[in-house]
Chains A and B, each alone.
Chain A
């Protein structure tokens, strides 16, 4: 973060070098620290994110999950270009990406970059929107990275980062000031990862037990506590131990439908003293919820200044 005086830091914003990591739906981008997601829509399969500084959008990123055997890169590329009437600037196949092409609109100077990764099963379309920010946009584009579909992937916005196991797709997101919750789905399993901050303010509102009972999964089922609340401890690598609580519960529809698809859930809440944050995770499934899945997710949950995870 810039330590310069107010006026200087505003006027010299183009000199900001610290990177902010934005990772979403299988792709990752490093952008200047004063850039942020302005608008996010869609889910893990298809969606759009506008990235910019507080005043102006700088880039638009669109992603679509594809089936590599059925996906025709040349046809998809042609469809993007035909729609916009652009001239090709660069094109490449078989490099870092399985498909890459860049086009420029001569009238506006905007560039359209197309990426395809077979491993990630992802096609990405990035439109640069910022006039006068070409260098920073190019740097951001050079940092694009994909996560293979069969491996765990990182999700990171506003400095909060999460590592999600392979196979889980984003179902719902809540990105409020001081509260982030990402709900993922994999078949019948649901995984919710949450951060609440500052923890001091959150714990004034309700204690750690209260946060444990505050399930993020909302449906018509009622929750029945199966076990007593028990303490839990996490030791993330290179970080202080996190102390918290964990509890198993059953979730059922009201009578007479209680036998209809009852679900079991495990919820863990940790208080990270060094970052003054509450880290929470919940695994909800038809069978037995996996504690390892939650401890892995929680120990990799981070907050990093400038996204330096």
Chain B
């Protein structure tokens, strides 16, 4: 057992079968060059919550057109593997490069509270 977290790692094959789902956003604004600004509510954690800060605050994220492609593909139906393959075909990327960049971006969006991953039994 590890001290921080449960120490479990999800195997790559399992991770690629996960289905990313978009989480609700407070606002959504189109940007020039096919970009998108997403605003979400985030929970205040750590020391600030002890000093009477508001429980939630607004946080905005700007996505470029490649980010929008991945974000829009997180529709709760497509698996991560399928999103990677479509991204590679659409943008003329090698599958390996698309896999690295899309999975990294999915992880980032997950940590920012923009998407969640659904695993099927």
The answer to whether A and B assemble together is yes
Tell me which residues from 82 to 109 in chain B have a Cβ below 8 Å from any Cβ of chain A. 82-83, 85, 88-89, 91-97, 99-101
User: Once the chains bind, are A34 and B95 in contact (CB under 8 Å)?
Assistant: yes
A295 within 8 A of B: no
User: Once the chains bind, are B17 and A197 in contact (CB under 8 Å)?
Assistant: no
A42 within 8 A of B: no
A33 within 8 A of B: yes
A55 and B97 contact, Cβ closer than 8 Å, known pairs A9-B81, A198-B92, A303-B92: no
User: Once the chains bind, are A6 and B92 in contact (CB under 8 Å)?
Assistant: no
A303 and B89 CA atoms in complex are apart in Å by: 12
User: Once the chains bind, are B17 and A198 in contact (CB under 8 Å)?
Assistant: no
User: Once the chains bind, are B92 and A276 in contact (CB under 8 Å)?
Assistant: yes
Complex interface: chain B residues within 8 A of A200 (CB): 65
User: Once the chains bind, are A201 and B64 in contact (CB under 8 Å)?
Assistant: yes
Contact among A6, A11, A305 for B80, CB-based, below 8 A: A6
Complex interface: chain A residues within 8 A of B43 (CB): none
Complex interface: chain B residues within 8 A of A197 (CB): 92-93
B56 within 8 A of A: no
Complex interface: chain B residues within 8 A of A6 (CB): 16-17, 78-83
B111 within 8 A of A: no
A6-18 to B contact mask, C-beta < 8 Å, 1/0: 1101110000000
Contact among A2, A201, A275, A305 for B66, CB-based, below 8 A: A201
User: Once the chains bind, are A2 and B85 in contact (CB under 8 Å)?
Assistant: yes
A10 and B17 contact, Cβ closer than 8 Å, known pairs A55-B12, A177-B101: yes
Q: How many residues of A contact B (CB 8 A)?
A: 31
A190 within 8 A of B: no
Tell me which residues from 1 to 45 in chain A have a Cβ below 8 Å from any Cβ of chain B. 1-3, 5-7, 9-11, 20, 33-34, 36
B33 within 8 A of A: yes
User: Once the chains bind, are A36 and B91 in contact (CB under 8 Å)?
Assistant: no
Contact among B12, B17, B78, B95 for A33, CB-based, below 8 A: B95
User: Once the chains bind, are B17 and A7 in contact (CB under 8 Å)?
Assistant: yes
For chain B, the bracket of interface size reads 20 to 34
Complex interface: chain A residues within 8 A of B93 (CB): 159, 197
Complex interface: chain A residues within 8 A of B79 (CB): 5-7, 10
Least Cβ–Cβ distance between A158 and chain B, in angstroms: 4
Contact among B13, B81, B88, B100 for A177, CB-based, below 8 A: B100
User: Once the chains bind, are A158 and B81 in contact (CB under 8 Å)?
Assistant: no
Complex interface: chain B residues within 8 A of A178 (CB): 97, 101
B52 within 8 A of A: no
Least Cβ–Cβ distance between B22 and chain A, in angstroms: 17
Report A's interface with B, CB cutoff 8 A: 1-3, 5-7, 9-11, 20, 33-34, 36, 54-55, 158-160, 177-178, 197-198, 200-201, 204, 275-277, 303, 305, 307
Return the 5 tightest CB-CB contacts between A and B, nearest first.
A6-B79, A36-B96, A159-B94, A6-B82, A6-B81
Can you identify 24 A-B contacts, CB atoms within 8 angstroms?
Answer: A2-B85, A3-B85, A5-B82, A6-B80, A7-B17, A7-B81, A9-B81, A9-B82, A10-B16, A20-B94, A33-B95, A34-B95, A54-B12, A55-B12, A178-B97, A197-B93, A198-B91, A200-B65, A201-B64, A201-B65, A201-B66, A204-B33, A305-B89, A305-B92
